[in-house]
Structure 1
Amino acid sequence: MNWHPLTSTEQLDEILEESKNTPVVIFKHSTSCSISATAKSRLERQWDGASLDHVKPYYLDLLRYRPVSNEVAEMLHVHHESPQLLLVQDGVCTYDVSHMGIGVDALKKKITA
């Protein structure tokens, strides 16, 4: 899995535009939370070999970039959770899951062709 860091609010407009051509996921991670670490590790293990090469994954360290996390919630009209996985397609969040619900199988079912 090749994470792309999400570190600025300016990136959000680019990500929304990018999602019109390819699905994008944003993983909001709390580096001080063991549940978040477990969810991230499981996602990374499941990702490889899951035929998700066309999906671009972004990683957001929400403790370090809390204003970015707040802007993500506002722009995508989602309630903030941690950890949280958001699927963005055609400029809108089409799937939002948190905590131990984060997994590749459910994500794959939500990706439109």
Structure 2
Amino acid sequence: MQELTSIEELNQFLEKNPEAILLKHSTTCPISSQAYDEFMKYVKSVETKPWALIIVQTARPVSNEIADRFGVKHESPQVLYIKDGSVAWHTSHWNITEKNLQENIV
């Protein structure tokens, strides 16, 4: 896991990992806390793709860049599965469950 705090770090991460998962997380939101727990269960249950964490309160420019670059409206919490430079799948809020992640990130 890598926490992305700048657009430069985002660019480097995606260049190094053309297939990756981005998790946008709010440290003050109870829904995001639940989604984070589900995401961590997913990470522990399967061999995952490389993934990065974006804390929206401290890395808002990164979060905005992701929304602009991939054309996916910003939400928090939010998971984006990136494959070959585009979003292959994304979800947010209560849809971030271990089962849903296992079924859709392949």
Report the TM-score, using the length of structure 1 for normalisation: 0.83
1:67 and 2:61 are equivalent in the alignment? yes
Equivalent AA in structure 1 for residue 44 of structure 2: D
Q: Which residue among 64, 84, 90 is the counterpart of 2:84?
A: 90
Provide the aligned length of Structure 1 versus Structure 2.
106
SS in 2 for 1:48: helix
Q: Which residue among 31, 36, 40 is the counterpart of 2:36?
A: 40
Matches within 5 A, 1:1-113: 3-20=1-18, 23-52=19-48, 55-112=49-106
Whole-angstrom CA distance in 1 between matches of 2:87 and 2:13: 11
User: What stretches of structure 1 of length at least 5 have no aligned partner?
Assistant: none
Structure 1 or 2: more helix by fraction: 2
Report the TM-score, using the length of structure 2 for normalisation: 0.88
Whole-angstrom CA distance in 1 between matches of 2:69 and 2:100: 23
Whole-angstrom CA distance in 1 between matches of 2:24 and 2:40: 14
Identity value in percent: 34
How far residue 85 of structure 1 moved from its aligned partner, in angstroms, is: 0.4
Whole-angstrom CA distance in 2 between matches of 1:25 and 1:103: 14
Whole-angstrom CA distance in 1 between matches of 2:47 and 2:61: 32
SS in 1 for 2:41: helix
How far residue 62 of structure 1 moved from its aligned partner, in angstroms, is: 0.4
User: What stretches of structure 2 of length at least 5 have no aligned partner?
Assistant: none
How far residue 5 of structure 1 moved from its aligned partner, in angstroms, is: 0.6
1:30 and 1:83 in contact (8 A); partners too: yes
With over 3 angstroms needed to count, the CA separation of the structure-2 counterparts of 1:17 and 1:110, relative to structure 1, is farther
SS in 1 for 2:9: helix
Equivalent AA in structure 1 for residue 89 of structure 2: Y
2:5 and 2:54 in contact (8 A); partners too: yes
Equivalent AA in structure 2 for residue 15 of structure 1: F
